[in-house]
Amino acid sequence: MLRATLKSLLGRKLRLALSAIAIILAVTFVSAALVLQSTLNRSFDTAFNSAFERIQLQVTAASPLGGDPGTAPPVPLDDTVVARTSGVSGVASARGEVRANGARIIGRDGRVPETSGQRIGVSWAEGSGATLTEGRAPAAPGEIVINAGLAKETGYRVGDAVGVLTMKPRQQFTVVGIATYEGRDDLVNGEQTISFALPTAQELMLGAPGAFSSIDVRLAPGADTGKVKADVRNALGDGFLVRTGTEVAHDASGPARGTFTGITYVLLGFAGVAVLVGVFLIANAFSIVVAQRTKELALLRAIGAGRGQVRRSVLLEALIVSFLSWIGGFALGLLVGRLAASALASGDDGVPIAGFQLPIAALVVSFLVGVGVTLLSALLPAARASRVAPVAAMRLTTQKERPSKVNTIIGAVLLVAGAAVIGAGLAGDAIAAVGGGALLTFVGVILVTPVLIAPVISLVGGLTRSVPARLGRLNATRHPRRTALTAVSLMIGVMLVTIVSTVLSSLQSTATHVVDANLKAELIVNSGAVSAGSVPPTINPESLRRMRELPDVAAVAGYAFEPAKVNGKDDYVLSWDDVSALTKIASVQFVAGGLSTDKVLLNEGTAKRLDAKTGDQLTVQLGRGEERTLEVGGVFGDTQVADGIVLPWSFASTGFRTDQPNQAYVKLREGAPLTATKSEVVALLRDNPEVEVRTRSELIDQAGSAIGLIVAVVQVLLAVAMIIAILGVVNTLVLAVLERTNEFGMLRAIGMYRGDVRRMIMVESVVMSLFGAVLGVVLGAGLGLALVQALKSQGINQMALPWQLMLVYVVAAAVVGVLAALAPAGRAAKLNILAAVRHA
Amino acid sequence: MSVLDAAQPAAARAVDVWKVYGSGETEVAALRGITLSVEAGKFTAIMGPSGSGKSTLMHCLAGLDTVDRGELFVGDTTLTGMSDKQLTQLRRDRVGFIFQQFNLLPTLTAQENILLPLAIAGRKHDQEWFDRVVDTVGLRPRLGHRPSELSGGQQQRVACARALLSRPDVIFADEPTGNLDSRSGAEVLSFLRASVREFNQTIVMVTHDPNAASYADRVVFLADGNIVSEINDPTEDVVLDTIKQLDANANRVMETA
């Protein structure tokens, strides 16, 4: 039996290669994603470990908001903590220092230079690991040392005057020295480090003279790190973090790592789609193999092979193919993962790539995906193979295939149940139910697809008037189950991208709607997307003050937004530097209370969420300072522009990272010239290189371009799904050509041109692909709209279908159909008529 | 008009036709200089043992295969040197086929199968002629059925009607009764005979079966790529006798050789 299996395997190399490609693709994506992730993680760990290996113990104040110590803004410590730390036995010395994210140098081009790392401001100290390669240490308030990498990036040299943004607006400094870190240009790759004299760093980076962000603890000779760490923690009590160098390194590497996590997720998403589509492709490939081997299997049964033997023979074939494909896919994945890691992490501010290490996780997961999924997909075809009756060996023609009634009924029930669950989920605001309903609907559609094929395909009958086209259309309905599996593998990709596109276009439509309806300001001052691990941009309050004095400006509202704890729970808060301008820049209308400069304002949605009304008390803990209790002074109707927990500026400016706004909205006077006023505003913001001025339409475009990037990623996803689906279509067509050799011979004999034969197969392929795409677009749009409806509470309140994209997807599917048919159609057209007619 | 003078107009002709498969050691000549003229309006049967070249000859005459030497004509059109496209057009417009395995399209009804060659050629059919053909083969009540709903004999009658409908210069039938029981076979053969008599249709049939050959006006016997004998107005007994004689000759040749 084994020998017979191997022989028949080798006899169908092409079909095998096609299903193998699907497995290889899925395995490659999965292992590449995991290898990329593990390689980057190890590379970052190595880089940060060597950057922070000098640290023996470090004391910092715990952020009152909790959270990741790598990203939370530093909480100032005072002298007394330093003194208490140095008093602990085993501590040789404790030195207060400043190290905080947010020191942004302005380059020669007037912009803050790009980096994948952080922009750190530190207090200069001998023995802190920095070595001067040029110049001297900073001593006066106006002096800084920059790291060699930053000097190279900006071209600044010792003696140059440069502008730096900190917690305070832009100030001028003189570069007095260039530093390296144990021979490296950067402390850790990509970091821009600006060293100030201690008092300057305390004021500019912490906003607190005499304070420190951390304490560098040196241990006495022979002291045990673990014991001293525990003793220091005990001596200081709650509210402090005591970490070893390794721990600091790990926390610090978090934000840098975060930049690349997204890419890993995208790859894993591709892998997921590849697996999902692959399941159908593999199942189809094996049912085709079984269909083709029917005679052979029946013969084996007739000469005495048992059902189990036949089933095992098919599964063995699946095992061999998937195992070989897994090995190939894994090797390819290793290569792609390593290359992607080098590509992503290289460059001027990249980290060196860690050495090779066998990725166990990737090995195991990709094995499960490759071999496990294939075997599962082959189970059904194997069961069908075992039901082949021995007499089938003697039959001339194959039985006509009909859609299974049981499957259709189950499918219809699932479809109705799915729709009902979605409906109930939407009514009850239960997004999990909507997801579950979507899954039921999806499975239901797959099961009913075979019965849909004949009626749906006959709808396009009018378009197929020529004889070859008509025959091609009829051929597509010949094997409903096979056509359904093929179409479904195409449907999945189209469905997924249609869902995402529907959500995104609803999002964009919502953004447009909100700007049109609720934003009154004509000019918006903000930055592009804020990258992970960086601090938000700042706008000099002085620039805003002068803006307010422009004759054409009616009102300006500066805005800042930060995480906080409200009533003890993690939340976000915002604040306006001039809350009285709020009603001028947005359509804010109070339903209770009114504007207030010392009370909290809430929009209705937030008030409902917090269960608060005018006059209630809220406790608010910001990133710095003590917790405070504030009264709710007013509740306004939802605007989606200014919604949230609005704190008084007097409170926010003491507890936020900085007292400078991140964004600003400008309302012009009636009849003011837009372009000219924009230029005036731009001129006033010259010293704020991180922000740009946008008109309302530019703001909508900005929202659109952010969405555009996601759409682009989604298109790549579709391309991946389509490439895999092409394999499925090719597979089905190759079999069709083999099965109908006889018919092609007859058609050619009675006068059909080669081109007509080719066209006939093209039409069959295109009809199958279009069927899958239309199914995908319809299902995707339906599920997408359900998702949008479910996300209504998240602020997406406009439904919009991406008509153009949907059309593009359908056209793309037609192209897929043509491409997939090229080889099989060519083969059919070139058949030798005599051999084809005699072919039994 | 041709290199041969013929009193009777020829529907198809082969003139000194050679066909060789393979090369060198494995070279096999299927046709060794055959010259044959198929008379118009007659039913010609080609017989011979397996490998005698009878099918090859028919395929070459029908424009399905090419020859290495010699000339082929359908009517007065030379097939030799035609492109694939020209040959396809010739088959579509001037030649009809009946195959051993019926070769109908399972997706089409009987009527659609009958009309298929005209549909492929984009020609309109003559309704009167269609009705006459359909009534002659007795398929009227079965026109809306698909091949899977028809018996073997009915399927082959559909194939006959399909071949007749375009009124080709010549119909080539390749063992048309090979897959049928004797009764269905007799029906199909009577129908072929009738279409020659009533419609003046030219038919060339390749067969193993002496009984089938007895329906023809003329039987041509092939062996080893040559015409070795022929009889006009055959009966089954005469055909059987001829075959026995030819076998005996062949054995004698082998013994003396």
Tens-digit pLDDT profile for residues B63-83: 888 888 899 999 888 988 888
Structural element, H or E, at residue A606: helix A604-610
- Contacts for A482 with CB less than 8 Å, ≥ 6 apart: A284, A287, A288, A291, A401, A732, A735
**Is the CB of B103 less than 8 angstroms away from the CB of A746?**
yes
A 457-486 residues inside an 8 A Cβ radius of B: 467, 471, 474-475, 477-478
Percent share of chain B, pLDDT over 90: 34
Which residue of chain B comes nearest to A478, CA vs CA? B107
Q: Do both A603 and A641 map to the same domain?
A: yes
Q: Cβ of B117 and A751 within 8 Å? A: yes
Element (H, E) at A244: strand A240-244
Q: How close, in Å, is residue B97 to chain A by CA atoms?
A: 7
**Could you tell me which residues are beta bridge partners of residue A617?**
A631
Pair A644, A574: CB distance under 8 Å: yes
The answer to whether residue A405 sits within a structural domain is no
Residue A118 placed within a domain: yes
Average pLDDT in the A782-789 region?
A: 88
Q: Does B93 touch chain A (CB under 8 A)?
A: yes
What pLDDT does residue B4 have?
46
Taking only the tens place, the pLDDT of each residue in A281-308 is 777 777 777 777 777 777 777 777 778 8
Chain A contact for B82 (CB, 8 A cutoff):
no
Number of domains chain A is built from:
4
- Chain B environment of A756 (Cβ under 8 Å): 120
B62 to chain A: which residues are within 8 Å by CB? Answer: 749
The Cα of A329 is separated from the nearest Cα of chain B by a number of Å equal to 41
User: Which pLDDT band, with edges at 50, 70 and 90, does A159 fall under?
Assistant: very high
Other CB atoms within 10 A of residue A234 CB: 10
Residue A492: the pLDDT is: 86
pLDDT at B44: 94
Query: If you measure CA to CA, which chain B residue comes closest to A746?
Result: B103
Q: Which residue in B85, B99, B104 is closest to A837 by CB distance? A: B99
Q: When comparing pLDDT for A306 and A150, which is higher? A: A150
The per-residue pLDDT for range B110-145, each reduced to its tens digit, is 999 999 888 888 888 889 999 988 988 888 999 999
Q: Considering CB atoms only, which of B84, B97, B148 is closest to A750? A: B97
Read off the amino acid at residue B13: R
Which residue in the set B84, B99, B107 is minimally distant from A746, CB to CB? Answer: B99
Would A433 be classed as within a structural domain?
no
Q: Is residue A442 part of a domain?
A: no
| Bridge partners of residue A570, in order along the sequence | A565
In angstroms, the separation between the Cα of residue A750 and the nearest Cα of chain B is 5
- Which of A623, A653, A687 is at the close of a domain? A687
What's the ipTM? 0.84
The answer to whether the beta carbons of residues A370 and A322 sit under 8 Å apart is: yes
A214 three-state secondary structure: strand
Three-class DSSP labels, chain B: CCCCCCCCCEEEEEEEEEEEECCHHHCEEEEEEEEEEEECCCEEEEECCCCCCHHHHHHHHCCCCCCCEEEEEECCEECCCCCHHHHHHHHHHHEEEECCCCCCCCCCCHHHHHHHHHHHHCCCCCHHHHHHHHHHHCCHHHCCCCHHHCCHHHHHHHHHHHHHHCCCCEEEEECCCCCCCHHHHHHHHHHHHHHHHHHCCCEEEECCCHHHHCCCCEEEEEECCEEEEEEECCCHHHHHHHHHHHHHHHHHHHHHC
Among the partner-chain residues B89, B105, B121, the one whose CB lies closest to the CB of A743 is B105
Domain for residue A530, yes or no? no
Q: Are residues A491 and A548 in the same domain?
A: no
Residues of B whose CB is below 8 A from A840: 101
How much of chain A, in percent, has pLDDT values that exceed 70? 93
Stretch A61-66: mean pLDDT = 82
What's the pLDDT score for residue A6?
A: 65
Give the minimum alpha-carbon distance from A419 to chain B in angstroms, rounded to a whole number.
36
What average pLDDT score do residues A681-703 get?
85
Between A337-346, A526-535, A698-707, the lowest mean confidence (pLDDT) is in A526-535
Of B59, B84, B91, the CB nearest to A750: B91
pLDDT at A146 over 90: yes
Residue B2: per-residue pLDDT: 41
| Residue A275 three-state SS | helix
pLDDT tens digits, one per residue of A205-250 = 988 888 999 999 988 888 888 899 999 988 888 888 899 988 888 8
Largest CA distance in chain A: 104
Query: Looking at the structure, do residues A198 and A242 belong to the same domain, yes or no?
Result: no
DSSP code string of A412-423? HHHHHHHHHHHH
pLDDT recorded at residue B5: 47
Integer angstrom CA distances of residue A406 from A380, A403, A419, A432, A472: 15, 9, 20, 29, 28
Q: What does the pLDDT read at residue A530? A: 52
Beta bridge partners of A519: A586
Mean pLDDT for the stretch of residues A389-401: 59
Find, among A557, A597, A601, the residue nearest to A577 by Cα.
A557
pLDDT value at residue A297: 77
Q: What is the mean pLDDT of residues A448-461?
A: 81
Amino acid letter, residue A274: A
Q: What pLDDT does residue A188 have? A: 81
In this structure, the answer to whether residues A640 and A548 fall within a common structural domain is: yes
The pLDDT assigned to B213 comes to 92
Task: Indicate yes or no: CB of B88 within 8 angstroms of CB of A754.
Answer: yes
Contacts of B97 in chain A (CB under 8 A): 746, 749-750
CA-nearest of B94, B98, B103, B101 to B189 is: B98
Q: How many CA atoms lie within 13 A of A458 on its CB side?
A: 5
Residue B85: pLDDT over 70? yes
Chain B residues near residue A749 by CB distance under 8 angstroms: 62, 64, 91, 97, 99
In a domain, A591, yes or no: yes
Rounded average pLDDT over A777-785: 91
Rounded to the nearest angstrom, the minimum Cα separation between A408 and chain B is: 23
Mean residue pLDDT of chain B comes to 87
Angle, vertex CA A578, rays to CA A577 and CA A584, nearest 5 = 130
Contact B121 A753 (CB under 8 A): no
- Residue in this structure with the two tokens 């378009």, named with its chain if needed: A463
CA distance A14 to chain B (A): 27
* Nearest-CA distance A402 → chain B (Å): 14
Both A249 and A287 in one domain: the answer is yes
Domains recognised in chain B with CATH numbers: 10-256 (3.40.50.300)
Q: Do A572 and A561 contact (CB within 8 A), yes or no?
A: yes
One-letter amino acid of A533: G
Number of C-beta neighbours around residue A412 at 10 A? 14
Beta-carbon separation of A754 and B84 below 8 A: yes
- Reply yes or no on whether the pLDDT at B215 is more than 90: yes
What DSSP assignment string belongs to A544-591?
HHHHHTSTTEEEEEEEEEEEEEETTEEEEEEEESSGGGHHHHB---EE
Question: Above 90 in pLDDT, residue A390?
Answer: no
Residues of chain A found within 8 Å of residue B148, distances taken between Cβ atoms: 400
Distance from CA of A472 to the nearest CA of B (A): 10
Kindly state whether A835 is in contact with chain B, defined as any CB-CB distance less than 8 angstroms: no
A303 touching chain B per CB within 8 A:
no
Cα A536 from Cα A563, distance rounded (Å): 12
| Residue A673, domain CATH | 2.40.70
State whether A375 and A511 are in the same domain: no
Using the beta-carbon criterion (under 8 Å), do A742 and B101 form an inter-chain contact? yes
Q: Does one domain contain both A782 and A653?
A: no
Q: What is the CA radius of gyration of chain A?
A: 33
Is B120 close to A834, i.e. CB distance below 8 A?
no
Q: Tell whether the model's pLDDT for residue A494 goes beyond 70.
A: yes
To the nearest whole number, what is the mean pLDDT of chain A? 84
Q: For residue B10, what are its two tokens?
A: 């020829």
Asked if A725 and A680 sit in the same domain, the reply is: no
Q: Which of A61-70, A417-426, A729-738, B135-144 has the lowest mean pLDDT?
A: A61-70
HSE of A192 in the Cβ direction (CA atoms, 13 Å)? 25
Answer yes or no: do B119 and A467 touch at CB < 8 A.
yes
Q: Could you read off the pLDDT of B141-182 as tens digits, one per residue?
A: 999 999 888 988 899 999 999 999 988 999 999 889 888 888
Q: Are B134 and B209 in contact (CB under 8 A)?
A: no
Question: Whole domain around residue A580: which residue ranges?
Answer: 539-687
One domain for residues A257 and A128: no
CB pairs under 8 A between A and B: 68
Q: What is the pLDDT of residues A574-597, one digit of tens each?
A: 999 988 888 888 888 999 888 888
| Same-domain pairing of A244 and A393 | yes
Residue A406 sits at the chain B interface (C-beta within 8 Å): no
Average pLDDT over residues A11-16: 66
**In 10 A of CB A830, how many CB atoms?**
10
Confidence of residue A529 (pLDDT cuts 50, 70, 90): low
Whether residue A425 lies inside any domain: the answer is no
CB atoms B162 and A833 under 8 Å: no
Instruction: State residue B256's pLDDT score.
Output: 60
Q: Give the confidence band of B10 by pLDDT, cuts at 50, 70, 90.
A: confident
Q: Are residues A370 and A461 in the same domain?
A: no
* Contact check, Cβ <8 Å, A751/B121: yes
Task: Name residues 738-757 of chain A within 8 A of B (Cβ).
Answer: 742-743, 745-754, 756
Residue A776 and residue A491 in contact, taking contact as beta carbons nearer than 8 Å: yes
A473 touches A665 (CB < 8 A) = no
Model pLDDT, residue A172: 92
Q: What span, in angstroms and rounded, lies between the C-alpha atoms of A503 and B253?
A: 87
**Does B228 lie at the interface with A, CB-CB under 8 angstroms?**
no
Query: Please, which residues bridge with residue B229 across strands?
Result: B221
What residues have CB less than 8 Å from A215, skipping those under 6 apart?
A58, A59, A60, A77, A81, A82, A85, A94, A95, A96, A97
Q: Are residues A737 and A816 in the same domain?
A: yes
Quote the percentage of chain A above a pLDDT of 90: 17
Q: Mean pLDDT over residues A336-351, rounded?
A: 72
pLDDT band at A347 (very low <50, low <70, confident <90, very high): low
In a domain, A438, yes or no: no
